[in-house]
Structure 1
Amino acid sequence: MKNIDSSTHVRGESVYLDDIPVIRGTLFGAAFGSPIAHGILKSLDLTAAEAMPGVVRILTYKDVTGENQIGGIVPDEPLLAEHHVHYCGMPIAFILAETDEEAHAAIKKITVDIDPLPVITDPREAQARGDLIVGARTFRLGDVATAWEQCAHVFEGTADTNGQEHLYIETQGAYAVPQENNGIKLYSSTQGPTAVQRAVSRSLGLPMHQIDVDVTRLGGGFGGKEDQANMWAALCALAAHVLKRPVKYALNRIEDMAMTGKRHPYSSDFKIGLDADLTIIAYEATFYQNAGAAADLSPAVLERTLFHCTNSYFIPNVTAIAYCCRTNLPPNTAFRGFGGPQGMFVIEAAIAKAAYSLGIDAAVIQAKNLNQTGDEFPYGQKAESEARACWDKAVTTYKVDMRRSQIADFNAANILYKKGVALMPVCFGISFTNTRMNQARALVHVYTDGSVGVSTGAVEMGQGVNTKMVQVAAQVFSILPERIKIQSTSTYRIANTSPSAASATADLNGRAVQIACTDILNRLKAVAAQELHTDEAAITLKDEWVYVGDQCTDYTWQRLVLAAYGRRISLSEHAHYATPVIHFDPVTGKGHPFAYHVYGTAVVEVTIDCVRGTYETDAVNVVHDFGASMNPLIDRGQIEGGIVQGIGWMTLEEVIYDKAGRLRSNALSTYKVPDIYSVPKEITIEFLQTQTDNLAIFRSKAVGEPPLMYGIGAYFALRNAIRAFNPSATIPFDAPMTPEKVLLALYDTISAPAALPLTNDKIATDLAVNS
């Protein structure tokens, strides 16, 4: 089945925030952000800005009608700065004007006096000073302290990963429209409608039922709109509430990049111990998370890092400690993978260091230690593993041994170009790790003409969740998908929604739709049995016809619906689903937090230009554990997108803040994302066919986040290619592996390149072959 949005997307008819017709009298907002990263706010002069043409009002914290606070997990983030500023771009004032241009022009007329305070951008420095947002978290398994004695080999090191800009095509934004009796209708580009509703309720001092948050779709989210949409929605809602006029604010790209948080940078230490047979006996990791200036979702992201600190491997003795460090950067936030990729990178770095030190390929250690069904994760859950199946199928299907031989031949024959290959196994848990968030509701109406309306808490942001909701309803009712319409996501129709995140959206909301449709279907079957004078157990619906046993009757779907309506049978259902089995105790760090795990293995091959330091990703070949995919077309698209986004994080995308906390990579001229020339030349995806039951909707496992981690393989493939050119190169585990870092590593020592026979003929031959 095609994505139901395909037609309107291609025609430019899909409705996003900026496509909503603007109501007459709408004001346009613009936020004035702090020009420095940390300081005491002494004075704010709005006089010149207020006199600018078109300016109607400028709001500060004094105008907040409720609580000046939007922090969710930790109440540490004011809507508008009061006496201190904690990061560059922290909103201090909100300008309302008749046009967007006039609002932004007024920003330049605001003057502010701030006494600067010390600026911290390094999480290790923050931890050393005790600047933690929450207390340290620790996961333990076995006894690491005594396990080192069993190790024949022990290696230690550090591993750093940088941030990543979400760069959704549609920037953050909201449109607030006052309603009667102090109500607010709020159109928000958010992954979490209820989170926005809750933040606005708090800021305005209104009960949640006064605020209707409505979302048709997003132009991308990737986690960046899970909580960070709250601020912009709350500012617009506050202004609409105070001025009784509609207010719209859609950030421009420069504002969005400067004022919003990114993927969390991490600095980490590791220690790994192996026995003589290369079995990993012990593993220690310490993670220093750069949370930014406020909590946002950082404590939850930190916990997910611990959950995935051993990736696909079983290690009997583990101690993992994580610090949530407060710095003077914009509050970092959710990003596809939600802390899991940062944890996985460190264990892969530890294995790579051990392998290099022992003179073997990392894949030898990886394959030796893959987890098996029944193995225990550090958080207590037992694995139902497909790790070995994915690995073995990848090695066989993609002829890894032969490719290694071919790469060795290529490298021996080429001086200016070198190839590298790496395998990247992935094990990613599916569920919100905050157990109470694993619930969803769906409202289904069957109309008397046989058409069906479905409302859920799922937010469509390009991942195809609405298409899957149509598939669920169509399959349960056995009707044409064309009969079904997915309504916008509204907090008035579906209350208390969990955000569309954690790769759990289709599972949670799809299960709720399934329950609602099944309840209606059972009532329809009872009506059919009465109409046809037969047992209810004999009734089935197939392709819009009613069957008694194997015999098709003259009752169509529509006739049956009308018969039910005539008998005054309810054709509507509001259903609730809560994931069974899962539980987790954050105090003990033990439980069964995930409904299931997604497994996979990627084979990543790269080629480096050893003169320039540039590189290409030749191929990413994947075996992925889909379960039983309900929409292979959408799922393949999600995996391809995730792979490219992961490769971008590991290679090109470099977030740079200076020591003063100012973002230097603040535009697409200074922040590089993968384009058509830098994506892999080849991406192939093989389905792992399994019959294992799981808690996914129709056994179709989640594909949102797990594929991103395949991109980590590109980093280690590049390391292998560098070592093919310069075997003695010192390459710190510091992602992303930009071309500059590649070039420095290629020529890390003078002796390596100087010893190469770089004759003119050889260079000419290499250039001709590889041009």
Structure 2
Amino acid sequence: MRNLAPVTDAICKTTDSAGAPRAHESAAKHVSGKAFYVDDIIEPRGTLYAAVGYADIARGHIRTLDLSGVRSSEGVVGVLELDDIPGITDVGPVFPGDPLLSADEIRYAGQPVFAVAAQTELQARQAVKRAVIDCESRAPLLDVEKALNEKQFVRPSHSMRRGDARKAITEAPLRLEAQQHVGGQEHFYLEGQVSLAVPAEDGGMLIYSSTQHPSEVQKLVAEVLGIPVNRVTVDMRRMGGGFGGKETQAAPWACLAALLARKTGRAVKLRLPRCDDMPMTGKRHPFFNRYEIGFDLQGRLLGAEITVTGNCGHSPDLSDAIVDRAMFHSDNAYFIPDVAIDGHRCMTNTVSHTAFRGFGGPQGMMIIERAMDDIARAVGRDPLDIRKLNLYGTKGRDLTPYHQQVEHNLLPELIDQLERSSRYRERRAEITAWNAKNRVLKRGLALTPVKFGISFTLQHLNQAGALIHIYTDGSIQLNHGGTEMGQGLHTKVLQIVAETLAVSPDQIEITATRTDKVPNTSPTAASSGTDLNGQAARNAALTLKQRISECVAEQKQVAVEAIRFTSGQVFWSDNESMSFAEAAQLAYLNRVSLSATGYYRTPKIWYDRESAKGRPFFYFANGAAVSEVVIDTLTGEYRVLAVDILHDVGRSLNPAVDRGQIEGGFIQGMGWLTTEELKWNAEGVLISNSPANYKIPAVSDTPAHFRVDLFKRDNEEETVYNSKAVGEPPFMLAISVWSALRDAIASLADYRVSPALDTPATPERVLGAVTETRKQAAEKGAI
């Protein structure tokens, strides 16, 4: 990227700029309750409140729909059915398949059928219960293996090939095959799905929405209303969590609110209560994975055939790209000389599953991490040694299954550093000795790595814009296309602009993400928020810096190269300067524009899906974690005792925010793999539908020893200040907990059995694995 400014754009002298552990820009507002979310916005006079009526069967069709009781219910002002929609009725984000309302076919329990607007929220919720929906029910398809066998797909399958995997496996000295089920996950954002639609002039609409993708909400609202996109404005200041659940699935509720607002002529707020949010919105995709591998006597992989199958629910949503991402990461950190990877996208009669932190990558990594442990047990070596043996390495062992070269590979050095700092070898010996003396409690230890590709795999999404205004008092207003969901994106972008202009971050105000300020934005997802929007904001700041520099140089009659921005001052000689505010005023008086847009698109990336070859990722983020657990072999209960993490974030833009993301990502990943269990009954109704029956990690589940260190190495690629993405990669570090549980169970067979352990690894599943391992050990004479 060309540096427009004539002065050095190095790390500046101001405090709290890029590289400093500045507090989150809304931290004080979060803890004091002063932060405004959509539900906190002061409502226009006459605002109505909406609720959604939905089907309680998973498969069938509506025979009759009687809403007379709804219409006559107290406080009801408007009722919306499918025939009332003036524009499109399918809001599928990429491919069709997501009807906003259904008047006939029902494909999952929780499918919206109608919506109602009433004077109060309670009245709206009471009204929907008076609907009479007479359905003819059919047996739902809920089993992903059955769906795979019957070829019930929402999108075509995809394959990646390099070399001759079948031949390599057949000729290998040792072979293994296995399968695993990887459970899904509820997003459990603290703020549920919510939108406020306010009618505007000329048939327009102002939408306040808790969404990761304001531009998509803008487009879909316009399309369901049948109006041009420029008549819809979407405003999003902050979310109370998103994790991917508000990338596509915030849009339907905004569309329903807008349609009701159009119909009634009044503002309408639609906020899903948790009891509706959970059955009506998508989850992390459950996956069914299989492998067949060939390896040598030392445990080095020679060939692999891997199949990843996503349980997509009833429609495509983002499943095509999510299963692609699972395929991209089914190698994780390991070189496979000859490899074949197949990805399937199965249809089942559940809510359509959607984006979730990692976007399929975690589910793909699980199968190869299982293989590493299985190989170790087969050849009698420590699993860490097998992982290190198979890491991507020098030329000839640096090409992924999709033919991207793994450049700047930090993992061998990073793993060695963590191995030493965590005392892995000493602890391994201590745990082995401890297990030999304890019959009931068994400990396990695992070190697992992460290699995660950074970029949207859909190429056109890798772009961003920003808008900066400098006012004559030196204050700055910043707007960019990314959305803040608690992850600290606004804080980092603010620090980047402060760094570029060498001013205090306190001079900068970040405003709500709005589609009338920065158009055609990409979703805040794929860990790319800072990479894209930070660079766009920096480019806007560099443009303004250039203009001010040229103005000052002209007025002071010096070369533009002499201008320096340092610590809130603009210097034109070693001892002559003016404040940044004075420089802004000078530029204004000389008719220099103090408003600029910035734009950025990720370089180097491409992918040819037909040949399954390319460079889909700009770079890889890396990390590794060591987890130690203890299990009770009589009950299956367990605890995570200690976690040591070393994670690669490049040159950290904010170490405090980065550490928070690593810690939070790990704990969320640990919940996915251990306690968070999605359950549907035989009729296809979600029964893990509240905090009472769906268990996310509590504070007490955090390990007593929880150490996080940042790997100190600048990104070799030209990212903003050589930083790296940090949102998604730490999530997969939690695979070490699952691997450590398997390690503890394997100790029951003197590590000669590699136990199967589907996820989430609940105590019931752990106990089942303990029983099966003991059985296999007895058969092998290992006990």
Tell me if both proteins adopt one fold, taking TM over 0.5 as the criterion. Answer: yes
The question of whether the paired residues in 1 share the 8 Å contact of 2:373 and 2:754 is answered with no
The question of whether the paired residues in 1 share the 8 Å contact of 2:140 and 2:349 is answered with yes
Determine the structure 2 residue equivalent to 1:759.
none
Alpha-carbon offset, residue 124 of structure 1:
2.2
Alpha-carbon offset, residue 150 of structure 1:
4.0
| Large movers: runs of 4+ above 4 Å | 726-730, 749-755
Q: Given residue 147 of structure 1, which amino acid in structure 2 is its aligned partner?
A: A
Taking the aligned partners of 1:3 and 1:712, their CA distance within structure 2 comes to 28
* 1:665 aligned onto 2:688: yes
Taking the aligned partners of 1:569 and 1:539, their CA distance within structure 2 comes to 17
User: What SS does structure 2 have at the residue aligned with 1:747?
Assistant: helix
* 1:445 aligned onto 2:475: no
* 1:425 aligned onto 2:446: no
* 1:258 aligned onto 2:272: no
Q: Given residue 701 of structure 1, which amino acid in structure 2 is its aligned partner?
A: K
Determine the structure 2 residue equivalent to 1:764.
none
Moved more, 114-123 or 507-516: 114-123
Q: Given residue 697 of structure 1, which amino acid in structure 2 is its aligned partner?
A: V
Q: Identity of counterpart residues, as a percentage?
A: 39
Alpha-carbon offset, residue 127 of structure 1:
2.5
| Counterparts in 2 of 1:452 and 1:167: CA distance versus 1, 3 Å | same
Taking the aligned partners of 2:138 and 2:765, their CA distance within structure 1 comes to 33
Within a 5 Å distance, the mapping from 1:187-206 to structure 2 comes to 187-206=208-227
User: What SS does structure 1 have at the residue aligned with 2:89?
Assistant: coil
* 1:500 aligned onto 2:524: yes
Determine the structure 2 residue equivalent to 1:397.
421
Using structure 2 for the length normalisation, give the TM-score. Answer: 0.94
Q: Given residue 651 of structure 1, which amino acid in structure 2 is its aligned partner?
A: T
Q: Given residue 667 of structure 1, which amino acid in structure 2 is its aligned partner?
A: S
- Report how many residues are paired: 754
Alpha-carbon offset, residue 130 of structure 1:
2.6
Taking the aligned partners of 1:77 and 1:346, their CA distance within structure 2 comes to 30
| Counterparts in 2 of 1:411 and 1:568: CA distance versus 1, 3 Å | same
Q: Which of residues 342, 360, 384 in structure 2 aligns to 1:321?
A: 342
Deviations 1:660-719 (A, max 9, x none): 111111111111110011122222122222245223321111110000001111111011
Taking the aligned partners of 1:692 and 1:298, their CA distance within structure 2 comes to 30
Determine the structure 2 residue equivalent to 1:678.
701
User: What SS does structure 2 have at the residue aligned with 1:333?
Assistant: coil
Moved more, 580-589 or 162-171: 580-589
Taking the aligned partners of 1:753 and 1:578, their CA distance within structure 2 comes to 55
Q: Which of residues 626, 629, 650 in structure 2 aligns to 1:606?
A: 629
The question of whether the paired residues in 2 share the 8 Å contact of 1:186 and 1:211 is answered with yes
Taking the aligned partners of 1:751 and 1:26, their CA distance within structure 2 comes to 65
Within a 5 Å distance, the mapping from 1:61-72 to structure 2 comes to 61-72=82-93
Alpha-carbon offset, residue 555 of structure 1:
1.4
Alpha-carbon offset, residue 195 of structure 1:
1.1
Alpha-carbon offset, residue 461 of structure 1:
0.4
Moved more, 141-150 or 414-423: 141-150
Determine the structure 2 residue equivalent to 1:464.
488
User: What SS does structure 2 have at the residue aligned with 1:576?
Assistant: strand
The question of whether the paired residues in 2 share the 8 Å contact of 1:70 and 1:78 is answered with yes
Taking the aligned partners of 2:502 and 2:644, their CA distance within structure 1 comes to 36
Q: Given residue 723 of structure 2, which amino acid in structure 1 is its aligned partner?
A: S
Q: Which of residues 331, 337, 340 in structure 1 aligns to 2:361?
A: 340
Taking the aligned partners of 1:687 and 1:189, their CA distance within structure 2 comes to 32
Q: Given residue 578 of structure 2, which amino acid in structure 1 is its aligned partner?
A: Y
Taking the aligned partners of 1:284 and 1:364, their CA distance within structure 2 comes to 22
* 1:434 aligned onto 2:458: yes
Deviations 1:410-454 (A, max 9, x none): 222322321100111000000000010000000000001100001
Determine the structure 1 residue equivalent to 2:236.
215
Taking the aligned partners of 2:754 and 2:544, their CA distance within structure 1 comes to 65
User: What SS does structure 2 have at the residue aligned with 1:14?
Assistant: coil
Which sections of structure 2, spanning at least 5 residues, go unmatched? 1-21
* 1:42 aligned onto 2:63: yes
Q: Which of residues 611, 619, 634 in structure 2 aligns to 1:596?
A: 619
Within a 5 Å distance, the mapping from 1:41-440 to structure 2 comes to 41-372=62-393, 374=395, 375-384=398-407, 385-440=409-464
| Counterparts in 2 of 1:565 and 1:666: CA distance versus 1, 3 Å | same
The question of whether the paired residues in 2 share the 8 Å contact of 1:610 and 1:725 is answered with no
User: What SS does structure 2 have at the residue aligned with 1:735?
Assistant: coil
Taking the aligned partners of 1:252 and 1:121, their CA distance within structure 2 comes to 25
Moved more, 630-639 or 730-739: 730-739
Q: Which of residues 677, 681, 693 in structure 2 aligns to 1:654?
A: 677
User: What SS does structure 1 have at the residue aligned with 2:345?
Assistant: strand
Q: Given residue 618 of structure 1, which amino acid in structure 2 is its aligned partner?
A: L
Determine the structure 1 residue equivalent to 2:589.
566
User: What SS does structure 2 have at the residue aligned with 1:198?
Assistant: helix
Alpha-carbon offset, residue 249 of structure 1:
0.9
Determine the structure 1 residue equivalent to 2:5.
none
Deviations 1:148-196 (A, max 9, x none): 2441111001011011000000001100000011110000010000111
Taking the aligned partners of 1:406 and 1:732, their CA distance within structure 2 comes to 25
| Counterparts in 2 of 1:292 and 1:751: CA distance versus 1, 3 Å | closer
Moved more, 716-725 or 633-642: 716-725
Moved more, 196-205 or 227-236: 196-205
Taking the aligned partners of 2:171 and 2:297, their CA distance within structure 1 comes to 9
Alpha-carbon offset, residue 96 of structure 1:
1.1
Q: Given residue 456 of structure 1, which amino acid in structure 2 is its aligned partner?
A: H
Q: Given residue 202 of structure 1, which amino acid in structure 2 is its aligned partner?
A: E
Deviations 1:326-365 (A, max 9, x none): 1100000000000000100011112222222333222221
Q: Given residue 4 of structure 1, which amino acid in structure 2 is its aligned partner?
A: E
Moved more, 179-188 or 578-587: 578-587
Deviations 1:14-62 (A, max 9, x none): 1101110122211111111111001111110101121111111211101
Alpha-carbon offset, residue 646 of structure 1:
0.6
Q: Given residue 421 of structure 2, which amino acid in structure 1 is its aligned partner?
A: T
Taking the aligned partners of 2:394 and 2:39, their CA distance within structure 1 comes to 49
The question of whether the paired residues in 2 share the 8 Å contact of 1:203 and 1:234 is answered with yes
Alpha-carbon offset, residue 141 of structure 1:
1.4
Moved more, 273-282 or 620-629: 273-282
* 1:747 aligned onto 2:771: yes
Taking the aligned partners of 2:64 and 2:321, their CA distance within structure 1 comes to 36
Q: Given residue 732 of structure 1, which amino acid in structure 2 is its aligned partner?
A: A
The question of whether the paired residues in 2 share the 8 Å contact of 1:441 and 1:574 is answered with yes
User: What SS does structure 2 have at the residue aligned with 1:292?
Assistant: coil
Q: Given residue 566 of structure 2, which amino acid in structure 1 is its aligned partner?
A: K
Deviations 1:238-288 (A, max 9, x none): 111121110001111111111111000011111111123322111111122
Which sections of structure 1, spanning at least 5 residues, go unmatched? 756-771
* 1:13 aligned onto 2:34: yes
Taking the aligned partners of 1:443 and 1:23, their CA distance within structure 2 comes to 28
Q: Given residue 660 of structure 2, which amino acid in structure 1 is its aligned partner?
A: G
| Counterparts in 2 of 1:167 and 1:133: CA distance versus 1, 3 Å | same
Q: Given residue 342 of structure 1, which amino acid in structure 2 is its aligned partner?
A: Q
Using structure 1 for the length normalisation, give the TM-score. Answer: 0.96
Determine the structure 1 residue equivalent to 2:643.
620
Moved more, 695-704 or 84-93: 695-704
Q: Given residue 354 of structure 1, which amino acid in structure 2 is its aligned partner?
A: I
Taking the aligned partners of 1:160 and 1:360, their CA distance within structure 2 comes to 26
Within a 5 Å distance, the mapping from 1:490-639 to structure 2 comes to 490-549=514-573, 551-639=574-662
Taking the aligned partners of 2:71 and 2:352, their CA distance within structure 1 comes to 29
Determine the structure 2 residue equivalent to 1:765.
none
Taking the aligned partners of 1:552 and 1:126, their CA distance within structure 2 comes to 75
Determine the structure 1 residue equivalent to 2:9.
none
| Counterparts in 2 of 1:539 and 1:730: CA distance versus 1, 3 Å | closer
Alpha-carbon offset, residue 749 of structure 1:
6.8
Taking the aligned partners of 2:51 and 2:394, their CA distance within structure 1 comes to 54
User: What SS does structure 1 have at the residue aligned with 2:699?
Assistant: coil
Q: Given residue 466 of structure 1, which amino acid in structure 2 is its aligned partner?
A: H
